[in-house]
Amino acid sequence: MHVLSGIAHTVAEVIVFLGAVPLVIGVIQFLLIGLQRFRHLYEDRGDVYLPRTAILIPAWNEAPVLTGSVEALLALHYPADRLRVVIIDDASTDETPEVMSALIRRHPGQVRHLRREQGGQGKAHTLNHGLAHVLDDDWAEAVLVMDADVVFERDALWRMTRHLADPEVGAVTAYIKEGSGKQGNYLTRYIAYEYITAQAAARRAQNVLGVVACLAGGAQLHTRANLEAIGGRFDTSTLAEDTVTTFETQLAGRRVVFDGYATVLAEEPASLAGLWKQRLRWARGNLQVTRRYRDVWFRGRTSGGTHRLGSFLFGLIWFSLLATPVLLVACSASLLFLYFSDSDRAWLLFHVLWVINLICYLLITLLSAVIDPSTFRRSWFEALIYPGAIAICILVITALPGVFVPLLDRIGLLPQDGSVHPVMIAVYAWLALSMPIAWCAKLLTGTRLRWLAPPLLHLAGYGSLLAACLVASFVQEMRHAQMTWDKTEKTGKVAAPR
């Protein structure tokens, strides 16, 4: 029994430290960014490369945003005779046809309207309708896929096309920033900060690794040759056609590049219900991609060395995100087990774990401020409270136990005689508890208690909400729930750049 107890304690101790893996991996990605210069992605290649580019925009009831998006595209620093904008109207029931008629009159020959009389099949089917039209003739040398609400900075497109001068590059993606600005709310500011870490940092790190996880669905540029090589169609069997296209491009031997200087603005969900719907679709899509490419993970390069999807570090990055909910629950369970069996050991491990988390949290926050200062200035409060107010308190207390533990002891929040104490149980279990609490914040939207949702999310943490959404995606995939492409409602809050 003593041997079994020792093994159980050792396993529990290891699991506790696994709880810090997602944050540690996040720090590693930030540190990799400094090596990007050695990839020579932005070196002067001579003349600017400006291929004839067809822009595909799938649209279903996007009348409020189409005019702004199209006008911004036609005002890009790019030769007008080398741009065509194709709106694929997925049987819209709003004023989309009227909006398109006006745009075509203002820009004859540059704007085209393809209408599907029977829609509702999803974004990939809509895109394939437009792609077949574009590839039917030989005009387009490159194809840009974007969302109807996305607004490109004036120099974004040529910054993307310059990479296509390299014949080894098959596709390029841009840095999508949350674009509602002063019209946004606390949730859009959380998203704005999240995109610094998930795009500006993570995808720069992936450039260094030589493998990119996903071409942003709202800003992905392909060479014609690349699209033809992967079948001339976007995947319709998953909810992640953009990620499948990214993987297939690299498996076919072409590189994918993220250009952090090519910036586009997008309107993101301003409600918890809208955010949940969007992220549930993304999470399910990632699970489907994980299963689809199960023979690729951790296999190293192919015999010809044409892609790095199987590299160990890329696999670790991918699975550390997918495993976050499991790691959080397992970490909390291990801490509770140690608390009831060896409270002194539990406190030591808990202290070390949260000090590691604090270091990672501070590094990620500070580096985010360096990578995108303007976005950080707008969302600094959400950046600081991103882990949640409760987690911040735990971070501070465990970092300075000599200051705070005696104070908590004096006011009766800590056990006096080594007995079990409900506060300590809640603290040790917090990593797991934060997810259902964040989920409750989402449930309150649409009810008379919706005013409680923001403070509840601030307490639990935005990251905990994303982890809870990932749990919901696991459940839906196990139940084989119907795949529906629910679009996010847009209001046209993103202003065109001047």
The percentage of the chain sitting over the pLDDT mark of 70, rounded to a whole number, equals: 88
Give the pLDDT confidence score for residue 2 in this predicted structure: 65
Decide if 3 contacts 318 (C-beta within 8 A): no
Task: Provide the pLDDT for residue 406.
Answer: 66
Q: Which of 4-18, 175-189, 357-371 has the lowest mean pLDDT?
A: 4-18
- Using the CB atoms, write b or e for 398-411: b if 16+ within 10 Å: bbeeeeeeeeeeee
Report CA-CA distances (Å) from 463 to 108, 127, 222, 324, 435: 46, 32, 32, 10, 9
Model confidence at 416, in pLDDT bands (50, 70, 90)? low
Across 106-124, average pLDDT: 85
% of the chain surpassing 90 pLDDT: 60
In this structure, of 18-22, 34-38, 64-68, the range with the lowest mean pLDDT score is 34-38
pLDDT value of position 486 = 61
Q: What is the pLDDT of residues 121-147, one digit of tens each?
A: 788 889 999 999 999 999 999 999 999
In the chain, DSSP finds a helix count (H) and a strand count (E) of 22, 8
Per-residue confidence at 412, pLDDT binned at 50, 70, 90? low
DSSP 99: H
The pLDDT score that the predictor gives to residue 162 is: 93
Domain boundaries, the chain: 2-21+321-478, 44-306
- Side-chain-facing half-sphere of 326: CA atoms under 13 Å: 6
- Per DSSP, the three-state class of 79 is coil
Question: What residues have CB less than 8 Å from 140, skipping those under 6 apart?
Answer: 52, 53, 54, 84, 134, 224
> Where does residue 474 fall: left (phi above 0), alpha (psi -120 to 50 degrees), or beta otherwise?
alpha
Total Cβ atoms within 10 A of residue 423: 12
Rounded distance between C-alpha atoms, residue 470 and residue 287, angstroms: 9
Lowest mean pLDDT among 51-60, 115-124, 437-446: 115-124
pTM recorded for the entire structure? 0.91
pLDDT tens digit string along 198-240? 999 999 999 999 999 999 888 999 999 999 999 999 999 999 9
| Six-digit token string for 132 | 């077949």
pLDDT at residue 235, rounded to an integer: 92
Mean pLDDT of 267-278: 92
The mean predicted confidence, pLDDT, of the chain is 87
Which pLDDT belongs to residue 452?
A: 93
Return the residue matching tokens 């259902």. Answer: 436
Decide if pLDDT at 44 tops 60: no
pLDDT of the residue at 167: 92
For residue 482, what pLDDT band results from cuts at 50, 70 and 90? Answer: confident
pLDDT given at position 303: 45
How far is the CA of 455 from the CAs of 310, 388, 429, 451, 458, in angstroms? 41, 10, 20, 8, 5
The residue that leads in pLDDT, 162 or 303, is 162
Residue type, 481: A
pLDDT digit string, tens, across residues 334-371: 989 988 888 778 888 888 888 999 999 999 999 999 99
pLDDT tens digits for range 188-207: 999 999 999 999 999 999 99
- Is pLDDT above 70 for 43? no
**Tokens of residue 338, six digits:** 């140690």
Q: What pLDDT score was predicted for residue 263?
A: 93
Do β-strands 151-152 and 255-266 pair in parallel, antiparallel, or remain unpaired? antiparallel
Residue 97 pLDDT > 90, yes or no? no
Q: Domain 44-306 carries which CATH code?
A: 3.90.550.10
The DSSP result for 400-462, as a single string, is SHHHHHHHHHHTT-S-SSS---HHHHHHHTHHHHHHHHHHHHHHHTTSTTGGGHHHHHHHH-H
Question: In this structure, what are the phi and psi dihedrals at residue 15, rounded to the nearest 5 degrees?
Answer: -65, -35
